[in-house]
Amino acid sequence: MISQVFSAQLADLVSRETGRVLGGAMLGDQPGASLPEWPVQRIVAPLLGATGPVIHETWLAGQAVLTGNSEGIAWCRAGQLLYGVIDLDEADFTATPGCSALQAASQEAYRRIFRLLDAKNLPHLWRVWNYLAAINRETDGLERYRQFNIGRQDAFLEFRRGATGNVPAACAIGLTGGPLSIAFMAGDQPAVAVENPRQVSAYDYPADYGPRSPTFSRAALVYPPGQEILFISGTASIVGHLTVHPGDVAGQCREALANVAAVLGEANRLARSTPFTLPELSYRVYVRHAADFPLVRETLAGLIGGTAEIVYVQADICRHDLLLEIEALASHALGNC
């Protein structure tokens, strides 16, 4: 089994869990902080409402891990499960007619990921965390998020991964700077993709949202030995394919959580374990404007209670009119596995 732990300092975790750490993320506005030896995605963005400048989210495996580096991907493997992180500098890629540097970097990052997974015989992407600078900026006549989507989907198709249906859970978030950073979890068994009956599937969005649709599912159920993990993708105030409650952060917060609840309902219909509930989820909430944080926190507390585990991060969302995005996960044990 694998588990996720949170800590402000890594010293105790390192001393206790050496050899069992699969990887993780370091969130916070402290770009000079040192990183541990295992693969860590550095998300340099302000934390909101936190007691310290950095939070470490770390995945622990139930067994010893193997480590490696392949084409710039730092990875750890525990049995039939792999976690990896790749950072690519857009400056290392040359824009060509019809292909921006970001598009080229995105395609190359996913190419490397798929080559690694094929080499390790762990072909199934379960969850992906994508971060890129200036996600809403328009360059060369196209928003950067849309450039990223082209590169991502081109790699999926090149490596004969479907771009619709059983695609991984994912998020794509904008930071003020830094490299294209992608963390991922993969395994030897396919995930069970979960969609939202209130929304058009992202991979079926109309062409109004760019030349290529986003390649992700609304959620995924995955099955490490003895476990059922629910990964809920970045979820925002979208009904059908349209943004709703523009300019109203409380309205968007309520709508986003209604979408999380709808995904939860679909996941429970497919799940093998006991039903997942909103209060048990571990949340990461991205808020575009720091001044909106108190209202977002108050709104969520009124909807799911004050005891849920929530990390708030100031960051940009994939559409300029979206003010926040919510992602979540939970894990249940499965008997006799």
Catalytic-labelled residue, pool 228, 266, 325, 327: 325
Token pair listed for 142:
């196209």
Q: What does the angle CA 49 – CA 251 – CA 269 come to, to the nearest 5 degrees?
A: 90
Give the ranges where 220-290 is alpha helix by DSSP (H): 249-270
Position 4, amino acid: Q
Q: How far is CA 189 from CA 6, 47, 86, 185, in A?
A: 27, 35, 22, 12
> Considering just the CA atoms, what is the radius of gyration of the chain in Å?
19
Decide if 325 is catalytic.
yes
**HSE-CB of 292 using CA atoms within 13 angstroms:** 24
Q: 278: how many CB neighbours lie within 10 A of its CB?
A: 17
Cβ(61)–Cβ(5) under 8 Å?
no
Active-site amino acid positions = 325
